Structure 1
């Protein structure tokens, strides 16, 4: 279930990013909407669902996830990034009107996405993260 949720969110983030890039283009196919959802987004979302697992595995290889003794910090960062970019992609694709608000020069949707990603990562970790506990060998001295 953990991998499925991560793959769906990752593919959503990829599709939303690509859709946001091309939404301002003058091509008419980019602006066709089906129930307020861009058709281009649906096509890219379907394609990114196919490659989401490969993208996750590529990042694991690049970051040497399997070779690390303590996998928890890099796992938290990876899940947090997925949540962050999924929220950013949602705003850029479906709620562009929220992009105009600023807080001291920083776009407000980025601040909220960062805070939400942090909280969601903590909650998600409590639900899904399984720490592999390795039994340590202790040597005891013989008592006389």
Structure 2
């Protein structure tokens, strides 16, 4: 279970770093656009800050969406993991592969479509590996008495 949280926190830190970097990449400040080995310095700094706050961000979303109070946690868990995978891929394109942003599919940018499909598949794979729920056993069922 700790590996699942570590992966989620790492991806959240990546999302935070790519979002901030993509936001400031278009500005005219040259110090923001400085890079080392084609990796923006701002991305590196925000990535380390993101590692520090990723667990708190994840827990905040759990509180806002009343995750612990839900009877069936699986659907909201799937949506959360899917969104993490989706925004990670979009952030990667926006910061590291901007040349892929020009392609579209009938007006819809292709860098929105392909991550959606990938996020669906990754969510299913991630769920098969990490999601554990209580299995219904015979003791959990109540049987009606037959007359």
| Normalised TM-score (structure 2) | 0.92
Matching residue of 1:14: 16
Alignment-derived partner of residue 39 in structure 1: 41
SS state at 1:7 partner: helix
Aligned pair 1:78/2:48, yes or no? no
Counterpart in the other structure of 1:93: 95
Flag as ranges the 4+ runs of structure 1 deviating above 6 A: none
Residues 12-31 of structure 1, C-alpha deviation per residue, up to 9 Å, x if partnerless? 01110110000111111111
The match for 1:54 is 56
How far 1:141 sits from its partner (Å)?
3.8
Aligned Cα root-mean-square deviation (Å): 1.5
Give how far 1:140 is off.
5.9
Q: For 1:24, which of 23, 26, 30 is the aligned residue?
A: 26
- 1:128 corresponds in structure 2 to 130
| Number of aligned positions between the proteins | 143
Q: Deviations over 1:30-79 (max 9, x none)?
A: 11111110000000000011000000000000100000010000000000
1:138 is matched with 142
9-18 or 125-134, which moves further after superposition?
125-134
Q: Structure 1: any 5+ residue segments left out of the alignment? A: none
Unaligned runs of 5+ in 2: none
| TM-score, normalised with respect to structure 1 | 0.94
Q: How far, CA to CA, are the matches of 1:101 and 1:119 in structure 2?
A: 22
CA separation in 1, counterparts of 2:144 and 2:105? 59
